[in-house]
Structure 1
Amino acid sequence: MNKSELVEAVSSESDLSKADAGRAVDAFIGAVTKALKSGEDVTLVGFGTFTVRARGARTGRNPRTNETINIPASKNPAFKAGKALKDAVN
């Protein structure tokens, strides 16, 4: 499912116009992004939790030249599915 299909699904499930559903999906994505940027976790009970995980600096290897490179530390968004979502999928 891509974003336009998600907007269409939200529109049909909630009796909103596609434009309103699109704005709602964009607002949700924006709110989650803003919270993660500020260091907060976003927990939706029964669905899951969006968090930011820190990855430490490490050394890697360029497969073409076998040259070792330094990969800097970074922060990556992560999602952990909740029990209800896991049960629904299984």
Structure 2
Amino acid sequence: MATKPLTKAQLVAALADETGMDKKAAGAALDAVTGIITKEVAGGGAVTLPGVGKIYCRERPERMVRNPATGEQIKKEADKVVKMTIAKALKDSVNG
């Protein structure tokens, strides 16, 4: 059975506990990492988190989609989507 994901406060508390920092410093570190990842991926780059995976942006081409309510075909403009490839080490630790 799946459990609820960690909240930001719980993640900050766990980070502070693991590193020996206070919660304020751990929160600032988490915000800094999040900001760096956001800036890099938004600029078209990629970020590899060792042992976790790679976060990157992929462009999707223009395509035809169907409105499920009416069945009407409409053209969807090209857009970008954020993707994440999970590291093999994480997959292996989860599966066995």
Partner deviation per Cα, 1:44-87 (whole Å, 9 max, x = no partner)? 33321111111111111112222222111111111111121112
Gaps of 5+ in 1: none
Tell me, yes or no, if structure 1 residue 17 matches structure 2 residue 25.
no
| Greater RCO, 1 or 2 (C-alpha within 8 Å, sep 6+) | 1
TM-score scaled by length of structure 1: 0.88
The separation in 2 between residues aligned to 1:40 and 1:19, in whole angstroms, is 29
Tell me, yes or no, if structure 1 residue 89 matches structure 2 residue 94.
yes
Give the CA RMSD over aligned residues: 1.3
TM-score scaled by length of structure 2: 0.83
Gaps of 5+ in 2: 1-5
Select which of 54, 66, 84 maps to 2:71: 66
Greater CA drift, 40-49 or 26-35: 40-49
Percent identical residues: 42
Instruction: State how many pairs are aligned.
Output: 90
Match of 1:32 in 2: 37
* 1:17 counterpart letter in structure 2: D
Match of 1:2 in 2: 7
* Secondary structure of the structure 2 residue equivalent to 1:50: strand
